[in-house]
Chains A and B, each alone.
Chain A
Amino acid sequence: MSAVSEPLAITRPLHSSRRHKSARKTSRRIYSPYQDQQPGQSDEEDKEDERVDSNDPEEMFQNIQIQKEIIANIRTRPWPMRHKLKALKQAREIVLKYEGRLTRTRGYQAAGADLLKKLSRLLYNIVVLFIPWEMRIKKIESHFGSGVASYFIFLRWLFGINIVLTIMTGAFIVLPELLAGAPFGTTRSKTIPKEHLDSAQDLDTIWSLGGYLQYSVLFYGYYGRVRKIGSAGYRLPLAYFLVGMAVFAYSFIILLRKMAKNSRLSLASASNENYTFCWRVFCAWDYLIGNPEAAESKGAAIVNNIREAIVEEQEKKKDTSLAVLVSLRILANILVLLSLAGSIYIIYFVVDRSQKLEQEKPELTLWEKNEVSVVVSLITMIAPSAFELVAQLEMYHPRTSLRFQLARVLVLYLGNLYSLIIALLDKVNSMSSAVPGAVGNWSDSSSFQATIALPEEDSLATVAPEIPESPSSTVGVALQLNKSAPPVVLNQTALYEYNMRSQQDQCWETYVGQEMLKLSIIDMIFTVASILLIDFIRGLFVRYLSDCWCWDLESKFPEYGEFKIAENVLHLIYNQGMIWMGAFFSPCLPAFNVLKLIGLMYLRSWAVLTCNVPHQQVFRASRSNNFYLAMLLFMLFLCMLPTIFAIVRYRPSQHCGPFSGQEKIYDIISETIASDFPLWFSKVMSYATSPVVVLPALLLLFMLIYYLQAIARSLKFTNNQLRMQLQTERTEDKKKVFQLAAARLQGSESDKKVEQESDITSQESSIRSSSPRRNGSIANFESPARRGNSICTITQSASRLNVGRPGGAARSPSISDPQKHRIEQIPTRHPGYLGGTTGCRSKSYHHVAYNPCGRYTENVHSDPLFRKSVWPGHPDSLGLATAQSFCGRRSHTTRYVIVNEHEAHRKLLRSSARIPRHYRPGDLGDVVELYPRSVKKFAPRGPHRAHQPHLSEEEEEEEEEGAQSSRRGSLGHSCRPRSLLDICQPAPTSAHFYIGDKVDSQLSIAQDEPYEMLGDEGRKVDWEDTASHSLSQTNIPGVPSRHCEPQVKQKTKHKVAPSLTESDSASVASSSDPQNSSTDQYIQVIHSKEKYLKPSTKLTKKKSKASIDFNMSGSNELVCSNV
């Protein structure tokens, strides 16, 4: 729009009046990013008329582009709807009109694009319909806020992953096996042993995943070992292995991709900027919340949050309870560790016991069969609550305690899974070693059977080759025996059958798969039970019994169940971990998990909507947060390890599963390559897998990783630096702006001081004002374009301070602060002055000495403000201009200032009052109005104003006249804002009239020689009241300003009042106010003084020294009066 806004700028003012009719509309103007466009818009409305006639295709095309842009961006503009509609309609009309004129095809194109847009929107709407649970999640979101919804979104995402996993396993393993594999009952691994046939359909058998379920596609053991199945020759074992790996690979890839995307999304907010309180206040409320209960708990959460921040801020360290606290925390950690160790031990113990039971008893009860998974689920249910109790003991900060809690729960879950899987694998080992013993016992009964049993024993022993007991466990023998076994099986005794059973039980993969599936099922049952019992029943109980209970159930003890987002997410992650861990051994586990997640989704959402309230300790994990995903990734990695370990370490079962008969599971790859691929391929592979290739490849990989990491690090570094640069730039900018403002205020303050305190202080202030000003001016100088801005901001700040002033309370605290600053400033300034003279020092000391006076008297108003304004400017001045060049450069710098200001003012003067709006229409609003007035009225009076402050500056020992002139200029500046400060309410106007003054002064100074003449004029004007003023001036500082009024007023009033009335209605009003009028008088007084002193300072150093003396005396008087 830049091209557009420029030509429009000229016409803009014409419409400005009409644009801002209602207050609301005007307030919208402050929306700066769109400011330029808004006026632009209204202009375009008018401009279209102008352009109707223009037939220049180029222009037309541009116009159309503009209009199109408006159409595209209209949504992003903060206009009222009516305005939007009007603009849109007009823009559309224009586009339609001219586009047709331009080219016909373009019009068709536009129409086509329109249609396409509509279609895509429709399509999008349809797609949204198919996103599962979208409406449900939105509903939850609108009731409970985005925090709770994030849980469901995460759940849905997991659901998506599981769907893909299910498709993978289903399409490549389960379906081929079902369609082309050997049917049920044909091979030994696919038949249920006879003795179990009776109980195979019993509920408890099915329940513990035995019987028919055990010999089904659910588990590893069912899959055939035939290399190729079906007519197409599908290599099932290979597929099984590859899919098993692909599950992990896919999970990793999708997780990492999601994380990368999220981190990209949250990049903007990842900055380390500190807005804790702001965000806690302004972003606290979740506008989606519509449920009263959710709102209540959200309110409580906000209060907690803010309190927390306050506590953090205060950092109250309770030393008294520190020892207790530490011991408590140690105790708590010990408790947690104990419970973790206990849970691990219990799991191990239970697995061990179940194994023993299985050996001792032929028939197990339902409890004994499900003991392991029930215990594990119980632990996962109970331990988190126990941890929560323990965490209360610790008295941590709520947020840290939440983190601790999460970490502990995660460790617990992992510990559970790990101890379970380790115990299972251990059981596999020990079981295989125990069975031979049993076989031996049996074989004693009859020699014939013993001979048959012996081979079995061997084969069993081979399952766990590392066990030394097995007598002759060589692989070759085992294989041979296995091969010979099937014919024998057909006609064997019950005893043999028993051996067979135990042999088939040796299918440890199936066993692990069974346990994992069982665990998953039990976990689901427990989840459902906990939701129903803990949430639903409790909710019912609380709601309906609270009326007839002795305490308030809803707010005291049982309350409603809270929806703990973090814990629930962790539970989901744990659940997914189980799936990953067991997926290789039970290909249908992902499918089961899909069902489970669907159930969980409905149940949870129902529970949340009916009987839960959101957790008070809000866990911040919005959609863009990687926290969940990081935990999930961690879990995935840790769950992959046991599976990989089992694949690499253990030998596959000999009689079941696709890998039976192989030494290792992964042998399938090399075998396939060797047998099914052409010879050259296997050769290539053998080369590729030889260390010669692998090692360099690994090395390359490491190098790549290192390189990428280095790049990332350097990018991060540059990123940080850029950010820092941005920050400093911004602060510098702000500082500059502020300095300018400060300079103005300061000037005014200094003037006031002249009246109130003493000449010395005023001088100081003027000096200071000159220095910041210089910086500001430099800034202006460098970038003329910015000038307008800076000016606006100055005025803004000025007015702002005025607004702040009326509040007396606000003022007083600042006193102590500024003083500090002052003291700091003095030393810093010294280096600069040391070169010049010692007089400066004394001056500064004086200044310090006088501060108290200022404070005690009623000057309080002016003092704090003055100081305030001074200090922010000061650091910058130091930074920008070196301290040494302070004295020497001042003259130049000030002159620059003047020139700049002058230019700005000239601009203002020349152009109509509205022109400034080009720079910043919204912000300038008041400023703009002020300028013209001041310009008009005070221009004539300017010169002497500029001179007034000289009095104070005489003390400076700078010899050059240029310096003096510069000082004068600075004083002029300082004078300007003074009135601003004094007149509390009509401040802006006052500010302006000073600006007007300044213009003149600048003018005078800009022409170096002529200025004296101007100055003379000013003097002439002032001559009248020299003597009297000098007297009054001394009085003023000591005595509060109001006391002085009467004295001065008589003389000055006749003079001042008329001028003011001329100048400004606002100022007139202020002059009627006694205090304000008094300030005006002071101004006059200053003039006189200045006049008085000026002659002396102007020409020679000596004179200036004399003036110093005078000042000193004045100050002394001052002190006396104050005391």
Chain B
Amino acid sequence: MGNKQTIFTAQQLDAYQENPFRQRIAEVFSEDGEGNMTLDDFLDMFSALSEMAPKDLKAYYAFKIYDFNNDDYICKADLEKTLNKLTRNELSADESRMVCEKVIDEADLDNDGRLSLEDFQHMIVRAPDFLSTFHIRI
């Protein structure tokens, strides 16, 4: 691909959607990890978030999105970040801590105190509306 590649910045994505994870999505799909996307990255994003994408692929990228510190595990800090983004910091510290504990308690199959990709996939593919909600349109 020797073409000229335009860069799709995170700010543009910002303007596009009201998604609390938009920044994160841009980071996950961009090659530089900063949210600046080349055309390829952009295509990647939409192929993963399209309606046609298989469940496993979606689950994989969902995992990446929720894994804020890129350590291939969703740990408590990641969860708290996710929660805060979702709820716009409306939950008290106690509440969010409890939710995080419960989440890990429910999905952590190997008791390591954090969610690996397997744990996450196992949990997410059973969610009834994951497929219908985890996609975007232009």
Contacts and interface: CB of A to CB of B under 8 A. Distances in A.
Interface of A: 22-24, 27, 30-34, 75-78, 80-82, 85, 138, 141-142, 145-146, 266, 268-269, 271, 273-279, 281-292, 294-295, 299, 302-303, 306-307, 309-310, 313, 620, 622-625, 730-731, 734, 737-738, 793, 796-797, 800-801, 804, 810, 872
Contacts of B26: none
A81 B133 contact: no
A277 B102 contact: yes
Contacts of B62: 282
B111 A872 contact: yes
Interface-central residue, A275, A309, A625, by most chain B CB under 10 Å: A275
Contacts of A33: 56
20 contacts: A27-B64, A27-B70, A75-B52, A75-B54, A80-B40, A81-B41, A275-B127, A281-B86, A282-B130, A283-B124, A288-B136, A290-B18, A295-B18, A299-B20, A309-B99, A310-B99, A620-B128, A734-B109, A734-B110, A872-B111
Contact of B60 (A31, A277, A282): A31
Nearest to A804: B113
Nearest to A279: B127
Given A268-B126, A275-B123, A307 B60 contact: no
A138 B137 contact: yes
Given A75-B53, A277-B99, A282-B62, A85 B1 contact: yes
B56 A303 contact: no
B70 A278 contact: no
Interface in B38-60: 39-41, 43-44, 47-49, 52-54, 56-57, 60
Nearest to B87: A303
B128 A624 contact: yes
B119 to A, nearest CB: 9
A482 B58 CA distance: 74
A284 B106 CA distance: 16
Contacts of A801: 112
Contacts of B130: 279, 282-283
Interface string B59-97: 011101010001010000001001100111011000100
Contacts of B136: 142, 287-288
B98 to A, nearest CB: 6
Nearest to B43: A81
Contact of B133 (A23, A77, A285, A730): A285
A106 B58 CA distance: 35
Contacts of A24: 31, 33
A82 B129 contact: no
A281 B137 contact: no
A290 B82 contact: no
Contacts of A275: 106-107, 123, 126-127
A553 to B, nearest CB: 22
A281 to B, nearest CB: 6
Given A30-B72, A142-B137, A804-B113, A291 B18 contact: yes
Contact of A32 (B98, B113, B117): B117
Contacts of B90: 299, 303
A310 B98 contact: yes
A277 B44 contact: no
A52 to B, nearest CB: 24
B103 interface: yes
Nearest to A868: B111
A59 B92 CA distance: 63
Contact of B102 (A81, A142, A313, A622): A313
Contacts of A294: 18
A495 B103 CA distance: 82
A281 B70 contact: no
B72 to A, nearest CB: 5
Contacts of B95: 306-307, 310
A278 B123 contact: yes
B1 A283 contact: no
A622 B49 contact: no
A282 B123 contact: yes
A301 to B, nearest CB: 10
B86 A313 contact: no
Contact of B135 (A80, A288, A309): A288
B23 to A, nearest CB: 13
Q: Which 3 A-B pairs have the closest CB atoms?
A: A295-B18, A81-B40, A269-B128
B17 interface: yes
Given A31-B117, A282-B127, A76 B83 contact: no
B132 interface: yes
B8 interface: no
A427 B130 CA distance: 53
B124 A282 contact: yes
Nearest to B33: A24
B11 interface: no
A793 B109 CA distance: 13
Contacts of A295: 18-20
Contacts of A731: 109
A741 to B, nearest CB: 8
Contacts of A75: 47, 52-54
Contacts of B102: 276-277, 309, 313
Nearest to A145: B133
Contact of A287 (B83, B127, B133): B133
Nearest to B22: A287
B128 A274 contact: no
B70 A23 contact: yes
A269 B126 CA distance: 5
B91 A306 contact: yes
Contact of A303 (B57, B91, B110, B124): B91
Contact of A620 (B113, B126, B129): B129
Given A281-B79, A283-B133, 8 more contacts: A31-B117, A80-B31, A269-B126, A276-B102, A285-B21, A292-B18, A622-B128, A622-B132
Interface-central residue, B47, B87, B109, by most chain A CB under 10 Å: B87
Contacts of B114: 800
Contacts of B105: 277
Contacts of A624: 128, 132
Contacts of A620: 128-129
A162 to B, nearest CB: 26
A277 B133 contact: no
A1085 to B, nearest CB: 31
A127 B132 CA distance: 22
A305 to B, nearest CB: 10
B117 A281 contact: no
B93 to A, nearest CB: 13
A731 B110 CA distance: 8
B137 A278 contact: no
B55 to A, nearest CB: 9
Contacts of A283: 124, 127, 129-130, 133-134
B87 A78 contact: no
A284 B99 contact: no
Contacts of A286: 133
A444 to B, nearest CB: 73
A1055 B79 CA distance: 46
A279 B123 CA distance: 8
Nearest to A624: B128
Nearest to A293: B18
Given A142-B137, A276-B106, A294-B18, A299 B128 contact: no
A197 to B, nearest CB: 58
Contacts of B60: 31, 78
Contacts of A309: 99, 102
B110 A738 contact: yes
A266 B18 contact: no
Nearest to A295: B18
Contacts of B135: 287-288
A289 B103 CA distance: 24
B111 A738 contact: yes
A34 to B, nearest CB: 8
B76 to A, nearest CB: 9
Contacts of B57: 76-78
Nearest to B70: A27
